[in-house]
């Protein structure tokens, strides 16, 4: 127990830097630092990707709503009654006679 208290005390005081502890355990310490570094980089990368995904999802929602509104206005503009009203404004009227079909015979 006393030896354990000495080890903890030497760690708190920083005496383990003077001992051979670091040189004896350099590989596990290096591995631990490397894994911690990789973990930090990975978590930052995941956070950035999650932010980009949420930003792109909101942009997709905006584009979908814009598409629906443009499609609705186009459908309203293409309706026959709306076209007749717009054409009357410039002085044209709808025809009372049906259109004539022109058929061309191609001889080979």
* 11: nearest Cα among 21, 25, 2: 21
Domain spans in the chain, listed from the N-terminal domain onward: 2-89
Q: How do residues 59-85 score in pLDDT, each as one tens digit?
A: 999 999 999 999 999 988 888 777 788
**Residue 67, Cβ neighbours under 10 Å: how many?**
10
**What's the pTM value of the predicted model, to 2 decimals?**
0.53
- Cα–Cα distances (Å) from 50 to 39, 55, 57, in that order, read 16, 9, 10
What is the separation of C-alpha 69 from the centre of its chain, rounded to a whole number of angstroms?
23
Q: How do residues 13-33 score in pLDDT, each as one tens digit?
A: 766 666 676 777 788 889 999
């Amino acid at each position: 127990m006393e030896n354990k208290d000495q080890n903890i005390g030497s760690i708190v005081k920083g005496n383990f830097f003077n001992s051979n502890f670091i040189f004896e355990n350099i590989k596990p310490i290096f591995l631990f630092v490397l894994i911690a570094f990789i973990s930090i980089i990975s978590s930052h990368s995941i956070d950035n990707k999650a932010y980009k995904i949420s930003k792109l999802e909101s942009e997709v929602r905006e584009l979908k709503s814009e598409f629906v509104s443009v499609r609705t206005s186009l459908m309203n503009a293409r309706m026959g009654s709306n076209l007749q009203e717009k054409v009357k404004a410039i002085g044209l009227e709808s025809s009372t006679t049906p259109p004539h079909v022109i058929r061309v015979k191609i001889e080979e």
